[in-house]
A = this chain, B = another copy of it.
Amino acid sequence: MSFPGIEDERFIRGDVPMTKQEIRILTIAKAQIEPNAIVWDIGAGTGSISVEAALQAKDGHVYAIERNPEGIGLIKRNAEKFQVKNLTAVEGEAPQALLELPSCDVAVIGGSGQHLDAILDLISSRLKKGGRIVLNCITVQTLASCLSYMRSHQAVFTYEVIQVQINRLQAVGPYNMAKAINPIYIATCQKVRDTGGI
């Protein structure tokens, strides 16, 4: 199956927070990953987005960057579980950890560890023209920084941002009641002009 939307409970998780199914679906859809795409998944956590991206980029490759060793272990186990061969877990912190990687068609940012501007600068120089950055923001500050960056780089990027709030209905006896999932902002940025980077 090449379609995103693996159920949350199928991933091996430990205590690492994981992007919920619906957010993963929208993230992957907004990223528009072509079959031969090179994808960076920055702050990959459990690797749930990396796995879904790797299933899309079946003739390409996904680099899952994560600073937490527990996360690196989970990424490898999930890659194995979903039989994904085109996924490499990279232990380290962005932007430094990105320097050795091949240029990318898509960068997904799940976590930026207070280095968002430096990460965006580096992606900016290494993302192919037409390529996309999809940034999942769970904090107001990351969202504001992303907006500020995109506003000051409008010559290079177009962007759109959505906030997504999902409630799941749960059955309780004869009733169904809504259980809220924390909302998230998804920023999608497309590199529309070349910056002369490599």
| Pairwise interchain contact B178-A181, C-beta atoms closer than 8 A | no
| Pairwise interchain contact A163-B174, C-beta atoms closer than 8 A | no
Task: Please name all residues of chain B whose beta carbon is closer than 8 Å to the beta carbon of A5 when the two chains form the complex.
Answer: 29-30, 32
Q: Interface SS of chain A: helix, strand, loop or mixed?
A: mixed
Q: List 26 A-B contacts (CB under 8 A).
A: A2-B2, A3-B32, A3-B56, A4-B29, A5-B29, A5-B30, A5-B32, A22-B26, A25-B29, A139-B176, A139-B177, A140-B144, A141-B174, A141-B175, A147-B176, A151-B174, A160-B168, A160-B169, A163-B166, A163-B169, A163-B178, A163-B183, A169-B185, A177-B182, A179-B182, A180-B180
Residue ranges of A at the interface with B (Cβ–Cβ < 8 Å): 1-5, 22, 25-26, 29-30, 32-34, 56, 114, 138-144, 147, 151, 160-169, 171-172, 174-183, 185
